[in-house]
Structure 1
Amino acid sequence: MSNDSIELTCLVEEAAGVKLDSWQSVRMPEETVRDPIVKFISDVKTRKIDGSFKIAVNTVTLLKDLIQKAKFENAEELLDQVKTAGKLLVNRLPQEAVAGNMVRRILCIIRTEYIAATKDSSSASASTTNSLEGIVRPNDEAATSYRKNVPNLKETVLEHISEFQIELETCLESIASQATEHIHSNEIILTLGASRLVESFLKRAAQKRQFHVLVAENAPNGEGHRMAAQLAKAKIETTVIADSAIFAVMSRVNKVMLGTQTVLAGGGLRAVVGSHTVALAAKHYSVPVIILCPLYKLCPEHLCNYEQEQFNILASPEGALPYSNGQLIHRTHAYCPIYDYVPPDLVTLFITNSGNNAPSYIYYHLSELYHRDDYKL
């Protein structure tokens, strides 16, 4: 095995938590996995693939190609191969939750197609997975064996993944199409920073409604200015406000609309910094907080107090505290987090590509999208 092969094997061992004698030990050819996964991780870290939507689409494409080239005798071996690749992605991209979400979604598709093909009476409870009854009843599917040889399993899985890719491509449009149901004429809408989904949502509403948008600038990067410029081009009455003015103007606001980076299992958010401030101000004045969230951002993980370092990313504070201010710099510890945690009790409504849901309903979507055995990769 070459030096590059040894190095990458160690990388997979570290991510998967297992010792591999060779790539063949998991029936995964080296050339099938090495170049695509390592290149994908590199592209995400260097921002060649940027944004949750692009990461989700490219992750599904990557796993689809892996399955197409994989050699396996039963569903259990295929699940092991996808899990091995998924552990590598999750370990190397801990801040990009959508990559792990897509791995879990593909694993659920494999399990679903296997159970549908075998029609094993012991897995009959799987038919209730998508109902409330299936959530509260004991999980008999844990005893399901995935070792039976199912003809054409690869073809049915790939077909199901293709349908899921179409769903991904249309999810943003599905959310934007609900705009006129939630935005009415002469309302004042407040948003924070820049979000492509919020922008599309407001532009769609502006085709039939006249309203005013307040955009908090989201200092120090000032993404709100770019958002305001895009809305102004669409003939939407827009005003940029300082982050410090959020509480002052909240009493005049009718709705708060925000995007999010991740929705956690408890209904909380991992959103752009400042979102918690906006949500607290909105709660004080009883202003509804509406979150636009495609289902691929739903993550089955919870936030714990001791996980704050893994939860957040610190950016350069140069925008708020210039390095040229040497007399202050050497006496100051400056932190510039990128994300905020917004607890579920501050969120009024989630608008997803499948409809509207309260934060307490997130657990139901998780049970639909992912299998319980795949919550922890």
Structure 2
Amino acid sequence: MSSVKPSLSELERYLKSLKGKTLEASIDSLISLLKRRQISGAEPCAVATAHILLQVVAKTRFQDVDQMLEKVQQVGCRLVAAQPKELVVGNIVRRVLGLIRDEAAEDRNDGGDETPSDVQMTPTAAVADASKLEHHWPPSTYTKQDAGADYISSGPRPVRPGALTSASSFSVPKTLLSLLEAAPTVDVHSIASGSPYIGTGSPYIGGSGVSTPMRGQQTRVNAIRAEIIDGIEEIKDEISQVDDQIASAAEVQIHPMDYVLVHQPSATVQKFILRAAAKRRFTVLIATEAPRASSDEPPSCSALGRCSPMAAS
């Protein structure tokens, strides 16, 4: 148990230093602590990894979700390379990456469901050929009857074009947005000649609205960032409660008169054994390294032996 205390103190010291350091300095500091094994053990490494990934997501400015994934993956690879034996570091990194992918997929699905309710038609789109609407009155086949402009034809009477169908009719815009979207056609020659009415601020060119999609994209990224931060906070809560959750299954896993073999039990294993020893009688066999000269009994043995007289070693 005493071997875990230095890691916990180093962990607490590192977590307090996150507020006064930049992101890169915090990442380098954690990598150095992992390499020197000043932070070791499953729970301290998991807590430190979750905190630094939370800082990466919260402090880094991203243009899209792909950049967020790339940044978290780069930092995760550096942490895993610093201490490959601590598998929990890679597990936390994968949890966060999966969380980002899930939030990105959900955002894409929500955006794909939004379809325009109807298609706005402009006059040029409604009528493809304006010449079809013209009335052709051949002068050779018609004679004027009187001054009232009534014509009498010796041949077949021309057919007046009927009402336009719904597919080709001109739909009158119903909203102000429809009026704004129905912009007039821009003459290419006026653009080439440098007309003062054509420019980034002109209503006839879409340059003035370029920043609107950018703001919308940044808003979506910020919304995803908030969801991911909440998810990482939930991961931190799971880490703090994992010992209690594992210990709650001790009475089901260990039966009376069982023989339990453990190797250098960690704090989680000790809590698991002691929870079962409260209501069960069983034998615990502890495999550990050679005792030090200052003590003939390993710390884990003394910790388990003092807690309950029902646990035998």
TM-score range, shorter chain: 0.5 to 0.7
Quote the Cα distance in structure 1 between the aligned partners of 2:257 and 2:279.
Answer: 12
Instruction: Tell me what 2:63 maps to.
Output: 73
Q: How many residues align?
A: 188
Please say if residues 193 and 224 of structure 1, whose CA atoms lie closer than 8 Å, have aligned partners that are also in contact. no
Segments of structure 1 that go 5 or more residues without pairing to the other structure are 1-30, 123-145, 241-377
1:78-97 alignment, distance < 5 Å: 78-97=68-87
User: Could you tell me which residue of structure 2 aligns to residue 303 of structure 1?
Assistant: none
Aligned-partner residue type, residue 36 of structure 1: S
Structure 1 Cα separation of the partners of residues 296 and 273 of structure 2: 17
Cα offset, 1:170, TM superposition? 0.9
Match of 2:274 in 1: 203
The CA deviation at 1:83 is 1.3
Tell me how far apart the structure 1 counterparts of residues 253 and 86 of structure 2 sit (CA, whole Å).
29
Partner of 2:235: 164
Per the normalisation by structure 1, the TM-score is: 0.45
Deviation string for 1:134-159 (max 9, x for gaps)? xxxxxxxxxxxx99954511111101
Deviation of 1:109 after TM superposition, in Å, equals 0.6
Structure 1: distance between partners of 2:78 and 2:242: 27
Q: Which runs of 5+ in 2 are unaligned?
A: 1-20, 113-216
CA 1:158–1:121 in 2, change beyond 3 Å: closer, same or farther? closer
Classify the secondary structure of the residue corresponding to 2:245: helix
Query: By percentage of residues, which structure has more strand?
Result: 1
In the alignment, the residues of structure 1 paired with residue 234 and residue 312 of structure 2 have an alpha-carbon distance, to the nearest angstrom, of: 41
Cross-structure match for 1:173: 244
Question: What amino acid is the match of 2:234?
Answer: E
User: Partner residue of 1:231?
Assistant: 304
- Measured in 2, the distance between the counterparts of 1:42 and 1:58 equals 12
| Partner SS, residue 39 of structure 2 | coil
Contact (CA 8 Å) 1:117, 1:150: kept in 2 or not? no
Change (3 A) 1:212 1:94: closer
Distance 1:148 1:104, change over 3 A: farther
- Bigger-Rg structure (1/2): 2
Q: CA 1:150–1:65 in structure 2 vs 1: closer, same or farther (change >3 Å)?
A: closer
Shift of residue 114, structure 1, vs aligned partner = 1.2
The 3-state SS of whatever aligns with 2:286 is strand
- Aligned residues of 1:232 and 1:238 also touching (Cα < 8 A): yes
In structure 2, C-alpha distance between the alignment counterparts of 1:218 and 1:237, rounded to whole Å: 25
* Closer, same or farther: CA 151–47 of 1 in aligned 2, 3 Å: closer
Give 3-state SS (helix, strand or coil) of 1:152's partner.
Answer: helix
Partners of 1:75 and 1:148 within 8 A in 2: no
8 Å CA contact 1:190–1:215 kept in 2: the answer is yes
**2:250 and 2:275 in contact (8 A); partners too:** yes
Change (3 A) 1:224 1:200: farther
Q: For the Cα contact (< 8 Å) 2:31–2:78, is it kept in 1?
A: no
Q: Secondary structure at the match of 1:118?
A: helix
Of the three residues 99, 110, 120, the one matched with 1:109 is: 99
Matching residue's letter, 1:234: C
Cα distance in 2 between the residues matched to 1:179 and 1:194: 15
Q: Give how far 1:215 is off.
A: 1.8
3-state DSSP of counterpart to 2:257: coil
Note the C-alpha offset of 1:96.
Answer: 2.2
RMSD: 3.0
CA distance in 2, matches of 1:38, 1:191: 35
SS in 1 for 2:298: helix
Q: Contact conserved, 1:187 with 1:211, CA < 8 A, in 2?
A: yes
With over 3 angstroms needed to count, the CA separation of the structure-2 counterparts of 1:93 and 1:112, relative to structure 1, is: same
- TM-score, with normalisation over the residues of structure 2? 0.54
C-alpha distance in structure 2 between counterparts of 1:219 and 1:198, whole Å: 20
Q: Matches of 1:115 and 1:121 in 2, distance apart?
A: 10
Cα separation, 1, equivalents of 2:296 and 2:286: 9
Change (3 A) 1:183 1:239: closer
Instruction: Quote the Cα distance in structure 2 between the aligned partners of 1:97 and 1:213.
Output: 26
Tell me by how many angstroms 1:203 deviates: 0.4
